[in-house]
Structure 1
Amino acid sequence: MSRCAGRTPKPGGQPQRLPALRVIATEIQGPEDVVADAEGTLFTAGADGTVWRVALSTSGAAGRAVAVAHTGGRPLGLEPTADGRLLVCDAQRGLLRVDPRDGAVEVLAGEAGGEPLRFCSNVAAAADGTLYFSVSSRRYGLEDWMGDILEHTGTGQLWRLRPGGEPEVLLDGLHFANGVALAEDESFVVVAETGAYRLRRLWLSGARSGRCDSLARDLPGFPDNISRGPDGVFWVALAGPREPGVDLLHRMPPQVRRAVWHGVKPFRPRPRRTVGVVALRSDGSRACALRRARSPYRMVTSVCRSGAFLIMGSVLESGLAVCALDA
């Protein structure tokens, strides 16, 4: 199990305005993650456990959604595989494999270390079948995700599952481990630390193999799911802008952070209407950053690129948000 070290320069520059959003497939409630397969077909999953295939129109104005499977839990992160199936992180059932052709659901890892695998968040698949996946928190479940952010528990983990093997922890002590993605050459794996505004990078090969550092730090918002575009660029959804009050709280003693969470828990503050995404190259430099204030579509938890469009999902909203991506 590796420890992270090292510092990476902050990604600089002012964000551009995120283009106008169109919402499609509004029958899907809470599509936390959205991914595109090699043919550009979109897949997402709703709060009721249904996995959907969405065909985006050439104009991006509409998308026909077809239910293809049901996990029996609460699906979060998705990953298409080369054989036409989907890997699904289910917050209640663990790491699953779903076949959208017949709806079959297989549990790949329902427990780890003798305990149920809860709050499995996101997954990436290597060419040799090795899977890398995150567990956001070992203290709180999905329904109380805000408690983990406020308490700053540092109980998130990055796991690895080799073909025919057992799950093993690669990184521990992460502040709300979230999105996971592999470099185009699979030389490293990236995991988002939502509660720390950074992306951790674990080197898998080469002279730095086994070392952990930051691909990006001090991001302008809470990083959530990560997808890798066809050009190798990492697209990162920012679920909300930085909150100075949260930054201050994280410097307080644990008992103060716990008291604040229990104080706000009955009220569940609504997320801000500022949404954003950032695109990073494999060296951590910023390719672009997009931001929109007063957005009608709140809390963007995922983003992927498909052709000339960016498609976004939200754990709260109905439907997927689409915008044209200016070259």
Structure 2
Amino acid sequence: MVSCVDTTVFIIKTLFHTILIYLFFAFGPILLDIEPTKYNLTLPQTFDGPLTANNKLSQADHLFVNEIIGPESLAVWKGDVYTGVSDGRIIRIRKDHYKTIAQFGDPLKCVNPWEMERCGRPLGMRFDSKGLLYVADAYYGIHTVNVTSGKVKRILTSKRPIDNIRPLFVDDLVISEEEQAIYFTDASNKWDLKNVFYTVGEHDETGRVIRFDLKSKNSTVIMKSLGFPNGIELSDDRTTLYVCEFNNRRIMKHFVDGDRRGQTDVFALNLPGEPDNIRRSSDPFRETYWVALAMGRNEKNPSFAMDMLSNWPKTRKALLRVMHTVGTVVEYFGKLIYFRPLIELGFKTKSGSIIFHTITNYGMAVELDTDGNIIQSLHSPDGRTTLLSEVREVVVGDQKVLYLGSYGNNYIGKVSLGQLTKINRPLLTHEKKKFIDLQKKNFAKRSTDPKPYKPYKAFDLQNPDFGQHQQQQQQYDQSDYRFDPDFQKAMKMRQMSKNKSKSKVKSKSKSKTKAKANSKTKSTSKSKTTKTITKSKT
């Protein structure tokens, strides 16, 4: 009897202390300043159609294991692949061998991952048409790298405010040589790269897209209130920007030219994972885009951290504060006695990187067409190749190869998609003409001076009208769009307009037939009268 009472008292005490600890970490004012928000995002019901599961990513080759750490982005020039790694180096990969061609910051200060802000961290990378490499540094802005000499030059500093806010987390970029400008993403106004885990945990929506003019050196915010904007890409006709929103599991479509300049639409919604970078495929005739997903999943296999806790912001707040507090204490004592393994353990706990691979246990990448539809997907159900940040398609000889980048992996992935599909027929005239015209158009745009840029008001995704429309769209799965009442109304209106147009066409056709009949009767009567006249004359 005594033992039973003791156990109940012990359980009550444990529950009481647990509740006290939870309340302290959820509402304590002296801890990490973080306010997670509630969100509700849907996932695909199952993996079928273009999302049918396979093992293509699981069969990927892992190159340079434990030699290359965190190859976030990949750029290609003359068959060589370039990437930036966690210690600030820019690496060239040629025939499955790598070489360091440039270094950001002092290499002696870039040894420890908890001091990456001292030397910088290269993320998004792009080549221009002349072979000059542009690199987005998460801490120090945008740089150019001469891959022949290794010279690094900063062209945009992140210390200077843009629209009264300093870029805190420069992530990805894309070059528009026609405009002589760079579009880049500023992932968050609150959290830097070391605290990227809290950007996701808080469901932060303070990200921006910024246009940097290479001639005037002026910067303009064109999109704001984005949920962790990550990858960015330009369409083939250079009128549209595709921006990946990691936190909202979607890709936005922003018009930078044409009749809808300055407006924004949803390009791809309810993706089966968080999109990181987006890159154009190597297909010259079919415009498609590869999107790397940090973690793939569907409604049957949701993530506890990303999906189940989405409606429990206070619980997320308590858990994030526990990780930050424990990590800070461990890191402090490690630095006090200068014990490197303890410092690293504290940093990984505080930054959340210690559980990156625990959360991301299903690797995935998808290929999208110009309508935002998924046309192909690559899977790693066993989690062997996961936490992807970029998929770069390269043609090597007659083979199609995908290089896989990752912010957190200790290797570069490589997947062979097989031999290029040969066309059994000659190209049609309009296909040749389209391809040649596109090349001429792009060359003409690059060779002529760009039009003077006219700034426009930044598109705010927190606009109430846009938000309502987005919430309505998120409530319905893309496959069940027929049950959307707005869609049904639109279809009714469309049917009514079709019926009206049909009735008009019928009335017009009837009047035409009547007129033809009248004309025929008149002509026959005339012919009869002429015949009678001729007979009478004879």
Same-fold call, TM cutoff 0.5: yes
Question: Deviation of residue 273 (structure 1)?
Answer: 2.9
Structure with more helix by fraction: 2
Aligned residue for 2:236, secondary structure, equals coil
The structure with the largest alpha-carbon Rg is: 2
Aligned residue for 1:107, secondary structure, equals strand
Aligned residue for 1:96, secondary structure, equals strand
Within the candidate set 269, 290, 295, 1:235 is matched to: 290
Question: Deviation of residue 36 (structure 1)?
Answer: 2.0
TM-score, normalisation: structure 2: 0.55
Question: Deviation of residue 121 (structure 1)?
Answer: 0.5
Q: Quick one: distance in 2 between partners of 1:224 and 1:146?
A: 14
Within the candidate set 154, 171, 180, 1:121 is matched to: 171
Within the candidate set 285, 288, 299, 2:373 is matched to: 285
Aligned residue for 1:221, secondary structure, equals coil
- Match in the other structure for 1:103: 150
Question: Deviation of residue 109 (structure 1)?
Answer: 1.5
| Closer/same/farther in 2, CA of residues 302 and 208 from structure 1, 3 Å limit | same
- Match in the other structure for 1:69: 102
- Match in the other structure for 1:304: 392
Runs (4+) of structure 1 moved beyond 6 Å? none
Question: Deviation of residue 120 (structure 1)?
Answer: 0.5
RMSD across aligned C-alpha pairs, in angstroms?
Answer: 2.0
Structure with more strand by fraction: 1
Question: Deviation of residue 290 (structure 1)?
Answer: 1.2
Kept in 2: contact 1:203–1:212 (CA 8 A): yes
TM-score, normalisation: structure 1: 0.88
Q: Quick one: distance in 2 between partners of 1:147 and 1:241?
A: 20
Question: Which letter maps to 1:318?
Answer: N
Question: Deviation of residue 324 (structure 1)?
Answer: 0.8
Aligned residue for 1:218, secondary structure, equals coil
Kept in 1: contact 2:50–2:375 (CA 8 A): no
Cα deviation digits, residues 175-196 of structure 1 (max 9, x gap): 1110011111111011110011
Question: Deviation of residue 71 (structure 1)?
Answer: 1.9
Within the candidate set 201, 207, 218, 2:270 is matched to: 218
Question: Deviation of residue 104 (structure 1)?
Answer: 1.4
Kept in 2: contact 1:76–1:88 (CA 8 A): yes
Within the candidate set 86, 90, 110, 1:47 is matched to: 86
**Number of aligned residues:** 310
Please identify, of 25-34 and 315-324, the stretch whose mean Cα deviation from structure 2 is larger: 25-34
Please identify, of 165-174 and 175-184, the stretch whose mean Cα deviation from structure 2 is larger: 165-174
Kept in 2: contact 1:36–1:305 (CA 8 A): no
Question: Deviation of residue 236 (structure 1)?
Answer: 0.5
Within the candidate set 175, 179, 196, 1:145 is matched to: 196
> Which sections of structure 1, spanning at least 5 residues, go unmatched?
1-9, 58-62
Q: Quick one: distance in 2 between partners of 1:209 and 1:257?
A: 39
- Match in the other structure for 1:179: 231
Question: Which letter maps to 1:29?
Answer: I
Kept in 2: contact 1:110–1:116 (CA 8 A): no
- Match in the other structure for 1:5: none
| Closer/same/farther in 2, CA of residues 285 and 47 from structure 1, 3 Å limit | same
Question: Which letter maps to 1:159?
Answer: I
Kept in 2: contact 1:200–1:215 (CA 8 A): yes
Aligned residue for 1:69, secondary structure, equals strand
Q: Quick one: distance in 1 between partners of 2:52 and 2:99?
A: 35
| Closer/same/farther in 2, CA of residues 257 and 142 from structure 1, 3 Å limit | same
Task: Map 1:2-81 to 2 at 5 A.
Answer: 13-19=50-56, 20-26=59-65, 27-37=67-77, 39-55=78-94, 57=95, 63-72=96-105, 73-81=120-128
Question: Which letter maps to 2:173?
Answer: V
Please identify, of 193-202 and 39-48, the stretch whose mean Cα deviation from structure 2 is larger: 39-48
Aligned residue for 2:376, secondary structure, equals strand
1:270 aligns with 2:356: yes
Please identify, of 267-276 and 230-239, the stretch whose mean Cα deviation from structure 2 is larger: 267-276
- Match in the other structure for 2:520: none
> Which sections of structure 2, spanning at least 5 residues, go unmatched?
1-43, 106-119, 328-348, 422-538
Kept in 1: contact 2:255–2:263 (CA 8 A): yes
| Closer/same/farther in 2, CA of residues 208 and 18 from structure 1, 3 Å limit | farther
Q: Quick one: distance in 1 between partners of 2:280 and 2:364?
A: 17
Q: Sequence identity, in percent?
A: 26
